[in-house]
Structure 1
Amino acid sequence: MPILMLVIVGAAAGFLATRLMKLDADVPTTIAIGVFGALIGGLVLRALITMAGWAAGFVGAVMGAMLLIWLWRVWSARR
């Protein structure tokens, strides 16, 4: 069940992050960005802030997805 929630929250966070960062991505890429962003941002945010509930995870997921998009743009610009 937690994996299903990770995919659902990751998909929502990936969608929001790709819109905020103005990245045109297909659905699987958007979900992957959100899931990996949720892992990165959720861990970082939960370590820094002790908020209760899913709000901390969702905010962290969006921030992590935005960080991942930024890193991808920096890395692909160097190629």
Structure 2
Amino acid sequence: MGVIWLLIVGAAAGFFATRIMRVEASVPVTVAIGMGGAVIGGLIVRALLSVMGLFAGLVGAVLGALLLIWLWQTYGPK
């Protein structure tokens, strides 16, 4: 089922990409373009998500630290 799904998604992606770029290509070339684009796009998206994941962790840590500082200043020893 995975190979069939890859072919269907590759064909659709290749079809849309060739139409957007106004490229005339045969069906096998269109499917190959779509599958190659899926691999490249998947790698780029995974890289961005991993970087954003690290960034989100940093943002969460800073927000948590800010909350702790506020609590300490508000309710801590005076």
- TM-score, length-normalised on structure 2? 0.57
RMSD: 1.5
Per chain length, whose mean CA-contact separation is higher, i.e. which structure has more relative contact order (CA < 8 Å, sep 6+)? 1
- TM-score, length-normalised on structure 1? 0.56
Residue in 2 that maps onto 1:2: 2
Runs of 4+ in 1 over 6 A off after TM superposition: none
SS in 1 for 2:41: helix
How many residues align? The count is 50
Q: Distance in 2 between matches of 1:27 and 1:41?
A: 21
Q: Which moved more, 1:13-22 or 1:40-49?
A: 40-49
**Displacement of 1:29:** 0.5
Q: Which runs of 5+ in 1 are unaligned?
A: 51-79
Percentage identity across paired residues of the two chains:
60
Q: Which runs of 5+ in 2 are unaligned?
A: 51-78
Say which one has the larger Rg: 2
1:1-79 superposed matches below 5 A:
1-49=1-49
